[in-house]
Amino acid sequence: MPLDARGVLLRAFILLLLATCADPALAQQATWTPGQPGESLEIALVTVGPGQIYWERFGHNAILVRDNASGEETLYNYGIFDFTEKNFFLNFMRGRMRYRIDAAPPQADLAKYLPERRWIDMQALNLAPPQRVALRDFLAWNAKPENAFYAYDYFRSNCSTKVRDALDTALGGALRSATVSRSRGFTYRMHALRLTAPDFWLATGIHAGLGPFADRGVSLWEEMFIPMELEKHLREVRVRDDAGNELPLVAAERRIAPAGFPDPADEPPRLLAGYAIAGVVIALLLVLLARARSVAARFAFASGAAALWLVAGFGGLALLGLWTLTTHESAWANENLLLFDPLALLLLPAAFAAARQSWRPGRFTIGVAWCVALLAGLALFLKALPAFRQANFDWIALWLPVHLALAWSLARRRAAG
């Protein structure tokens, strides 16, 4: 099918969906005084499920404003960024990201999600006419070029938290008051890992890069940095009409596009056993290779040690840079620096030399190797102290036996000389 024809069909499909998503239940449930300004307005939360590409894993959402009197529809989307912006990638690395809100016809925006096979839900919201007017006017003001940009943060200021805050303001704080004191014991890390679990390398990088900030318990209010959580928690909120009657905030909802693949798991993956097994197996292999006398064993040990020290050393430099050179607060004070240790880079010459039969490590090399191992042990010891609550037992289980095996192997090589 030609691309133009496909685009026309997608847009026609979205227009049909939007035409059918208006639900008389909204007008029937609300008992606002007829003729109030804003009576012709309808407000809906549009939620798009996770995709399969890494930047789609957390889902997306936006606010739809429909004026039944004029027929005008506008989708307000807070998730817009520009790769061509000056120093975009440098600013991204430094944590100085600028996102903006965009106002556009919904059919043009929503059509792009259909080829990605991501589900789309729409929730009509039970707002009083004055609340609808206030929300519409705020979003229109916010979408002006001079007001559109905001400082982006993964957890505290993203497309979903901006939508949450706009809705809460229109509701006079009802959304926050209903959720801020409640928690189910999840953390930012737990949510990040469960949503990125299908992408192993993305989940691994996030798990290593997040510091203790990501391990404090978050409230339901804070959980709504995830669009799917905002959609879910809106169902629990109640509002009152002019007569004082209690109504559900969500007047009606429906799925207007189906998912093409399963939703993420509700729980984060359990990684400790796998990481511990990997750490012990790697450590045993290193010890066996260090004890063997063949040329192949020496080269295998040297290659393995070099790879491990490279990962540990450059990984540690990355974590140190995130802490000291960026505004990524969720990566500050990362206890994984005791495991991904920049000192390991000092051992690279030893790794390259270990392939030679006559080579024996010097005292400096042995000292650095044991220092790296002891710092990894310190990461475990610190868990006994209340101030160190980062959820990094997985990484300790992986790296502690590896660093100990490498230090022991070098010490044995020196003693054998």
Distance CA 379, CA 141 (A): 50
Residue 341 has pLDDT above 70, yes or no: yes
Predicted pLDDT at 417? 61
What is the mean predicted confidence (pLDDT) over 293-306?
95
Q: What are phi and psi of 84, to 5 degrees?
A: -85, -5
Whether pLDDT at 219 is above 90? yes
pLDDT value at residue 19 = 36
What percent of the chain shows pLDDT beyond 70?
Answer: 91
Model confidence at 12, pLDDT cuts 50, 70, 90, reads: very low
- Amino acid identity for residue 306 in this structure: A
Q: Which residue has the higher pLDDT, 53 or 2?
A: 53
The domain spans of the chain are: 3-182+219-257, 272-416
Contacts of 334 (CB under 8 A, 6+ apart): 209, 210, 211, 212, 319, 322, 323, 390
Do 244 and 366 touch, CB atoms closer than 8 A?
no
Q: What is the pLDDT of residue 103?
A: 96
What does the pLDDT look like over 85-95, one tens digit per residue?
777 778 878 88
Place of tokens 């609808």: 132
Span 407-413, average pLDDT: 95
At 293, the pLDDT band (50, 70, 90 cuts) reads confident
- Across 209-213, average pLDDT: 97
- d(C-alpha 20, C-alpha 123), whole Å: 13
CA distance 150 to 147: 8
Write a three-state SS string for 166-200.
HHHHHCCCHHHHHHCCCCCCCEHHHHHHHHHCCCH
Kindly give the pairing relationship between strand 149-151 and strand 60-67: unpaired
* Cα 199 from Cα 188, distance rounded (Å): 17
Neighbours of 330 (CB within 10 A): 22
Closest CA to 256 of 399, 106, 377, 103: 106
Tell me: pLDDT of 27 over 80: no
- Comparing CA positions, the residue from 336, 397, 406 lying closest to residue 371 is 406
Q: Which residues does residue 80 pair with via DSSP β-bridges, in sequence order?
A: 100
**Confidence band of 364 (pLDDT split at 50, 70, 90):** very high
Nearest alpha carbon to residue 192 among 158, 169, 239: 158
Q: Are 44 and 250 in contact (CB under 8 A)?
A: no
pLDDT single digits (tens) 126-159: 999 999 999 999 999 999 999 999 999 999 999 9
Tokens matching residue 408: 């022991």
DSSP conformation class of 235: T
Q: Is pLDDT larger for residue 106 or for residue 1? A: 106
